[in-house]
Amino acid sequence: MCGIFGYVGGRTDAGKLVIDGLKNLEYRGYDSWGVACKIGTEIRMEKDIGKISTVDSSAFADACSLAIAHTRWATHGGVTKRNAHPHMSCDGTIAVVHNGIIENYAELRRELEAKGHAFQSETDTEIIPHLIEEELKSTDDFASAVRNACNRFEGRYGLLALHTLSQTLVAARTGSPLIVGGTRKDGYFIASDIPAFMDYTRTVQYLDDGEMVVTDGRSILFTDIATGEERPKREIEITWTIEEAQKGAYKHFMLKEIMEQKESITRAVNQDEEQIMTLAEAIRNAQGTFLVGCGTAGKACMAAEYFFSVIAGKHVNFAPASEFKLYHHFLTSRSLLIVVSQSGETADVLEAMKIAKSKGSKVLAIVNAKGSTIDREADYSLHINAGPERAVASTKALTGQMAVFILIAYALADKLQEGKTLLLETGAKINDMLNPRYMERIEKLAERIQRKQDLYIIGKSWNYPMAMESAIKIQEVSYIHAEGFAGGELKHGPIALIEEGTPCIALVGKDEVTTDILSNTIELKARGAFVIGVAPERYDVFDEWLKVPEGGAAQPLVNIIPIQILAYFLAVKRGKDPDMPRNLAKSVTVK
């Protein structure tokens, strides 16, 4: 979602540096950008709608050692230059960039307007510099004014602020991630995500919720926003490489990440067995286990309901994180909430965790991003170890999340080794499947159906959530209208939509529901559908067959991969950028 990056230190190219750094966060999705550079005792501010990748950073070469920049994903107020951050105080001395939503902004805006403040935008963010300006009437200290302002906000924020008369960068967070990079020697970088500053430093310190940080580039002080008490921090070295976070030989991150499933599933399986057994025990003993996630991670949770039921005979409950609010009626100190998130920063998931914690329930997180807020705030964490995922459309994270769930389900059935063997074999089969001939075949199919307006996908049992996930993947990147259904639901409505030549995909395995899903596929065919079968075996009803290996309980991991590839090629054939779909963001830090 929105990207934030600021720098203060000994370098004199801060303006250029923050713009270049934000280009490394492009994958998060945004619609406008802006920068504020402190030059002498003035602020140079530039902002615009559109892509930061097209901005020539060398145009920001003025001698500058303190700058903040932002990429905005519109929430309050449309996509306009005026609404882009930074926002400034009336007197032009304070500049602020902000992620999140200040929920009581309307009330604060009325209060500030009554005191004579004039607003230029429709955003909630703009109240921040004005409120700091107001607070500066009762203190000389810029950081204290920021603290006092923050203490009046309701909602979520990760913000950076600077003042023309102070060589300090002030940051505060409640609900939106901010990470500090750098050392006294390098100066300090503060960003919403690590890739922004990976070219300069690998030393990081995490700012937690309710904390702020003040730095002049040489010294740094972390404090509690509410009390002002110092919060000691530990410097952590990042171990992953910038290469891992870059495209390499691939044209798009989405394709690179699809191909990385050759190894990422095996990495997800490589868990501490004792920990898996302990967590399985926690599920066994819990009085109610709830699974939540958003988007693709939510589909992994839905598939997990089937894994737990079929493999371990255990009932668990899935809800999309945004729908979890009313589940608090079911939660007690003996409930267990399992949250799934690639980024570890999704606002709705954090909200679900808060609800569970308020009831004393324990939280297990299955995350990709180590050190993320969800990772740190959960009682237990399992990492899927997929490496950085940058394309907005999630691919390798999904298969890693499902692999971990399958492992836990087998552990719960006291068959951990059997589960592990199945997953490692599946990983090896996926490695073989992802060969150039296979890719070409799917590319040809994409060529054939690229001009279709609608596409339907059916599945049954654990392939039902995969049918829904297939629809998300195709919608997200190709903008073709796609919907996923349970095969048995077809005749209760959706079948009315099928016309001669409508492409329909059937996700098939070799299990107790194979006959049923094939019957549903025949129903589609009888209405003229062009049937694409994803299955370990060819059946007569298929017009096109995308062969997949047999995967047993891991069949959904295998079946989703050709659809990820199909979605990718549909986007490319239709001239869309699969890495940056319109209106979407990689990390959704607003509710």
Phi and psi (nearest 5°) for 224?
-80, 130
Alpha carbon of residue 217 to chain centroid? 30
User: Are the CB atoms for 18 and 57 separated by under 8 Å?
Assistant: no
DSSP letter (8 states) at residue 57: G
Q: Distance between CA 453 and CA 465 in Å, rounded?
A: 22
Instruction: For residue 586, indicate whether it is catalytic.
Output: yes
Q: What length does the chain have?
A: 591
What's the min distance (Å) between Cβ of 403 and ligand G6P? 15
Nearer to ligand G6P, 478 or 587 (CB): 587
Q: What is the dihedral of CA 578, 579, 582, 588, to 10 degrees?
A: 130
Please pick, among 2, 37, 64, 301, the residue that the annotation labels catalytic. 2
Burial class (CB in 10 A: 0-12, 13-18, 19+), 101: buried
Report, in Å, the least distance between residue 381 CB and ligand G6P. 14
173 three-class SS:
strand
CA distance 199 to 423: 36
Q: Provide the 8-state DSSP code for 492.
A: G
Q: Which residues bind ligand G6P (CB under 6 A)?
A: 294-297, 341-343, 346, 349, 392-394, 584, 586-588
Which residues touch 177 (CB under 8 Å, ≥6 apart)?
A: 99, 158, 192, 193, 345, 372, 373, 589
Residue 231 burial by CB count (10 A; 0-12/13-18/19+): exposed, middle or buried? middle
Nearest approach, Cβ of 370 to ligand G6P (angstroms)?
13
Helices 396-412 & 555-573, crossing angle to 10 degrees? 170
Q: What whole-number distance in Å separates Cα of residue 342 and Cα of residue 386?
A: 9
* H or E segment and range at residue 280: helix 273-285
Nearest CB to ligand G6P, comparing residues 261 and 346: 346
CB of 93 to ligand G6P, least distance (A): 37
Tokens of 404: 């971990």
Token pair 């967070």 is found at 173
At closest approach, how far in Å is the CB of 286 from ligand G6P?
22
Among 359, 504, 586, 591, the active-site one is: 586
Q: Residue 508's closest CA among 472, 558, 565, 440?
A: 558
Distance in Å, CB of 476 to ligand G6P, minimum: 7
Q: Which is nearer to ligand G6P, 214 or 367 (CB)?
A: 367
Q: Which residue spans within 359-472 are E strands per DSSP?
A: 362-367, 380-383, 454-459
For residue 86, cis peptide bond before it (omega within 30 degrees of 0): yes
Q: Smallest Cα–Cα separation from 5: which of 114, 99, 105, 84?
A: 99
- 354 Cβ partners below 8 Å, 6+ apart? none
Element (H, E) at 46: strand 42-49
By beta-carbon proximity to ligand G6P, the closer residue of 35 and 566 is 566
Q: How far is the CB of 591 from ligand G6P (least distance, A)?
A: 12
Burial class of 393 by CB neighbour count within 10 A (0 to 12, 13 to 18, 19+): buried
Cα dihedral across residues 207, 210, 214, 218: positive or negative? negative
Q: How far is the CB of 390 from ligand G6P (least distance, A)?
A: 11
- Helices 142-150, 127-135: inter-axial angle, 10-degree rounding: 120
Nearer residue to ligand G6P within complex by CB, 36 or 482: 482
Catalytically active residues are 2, 586
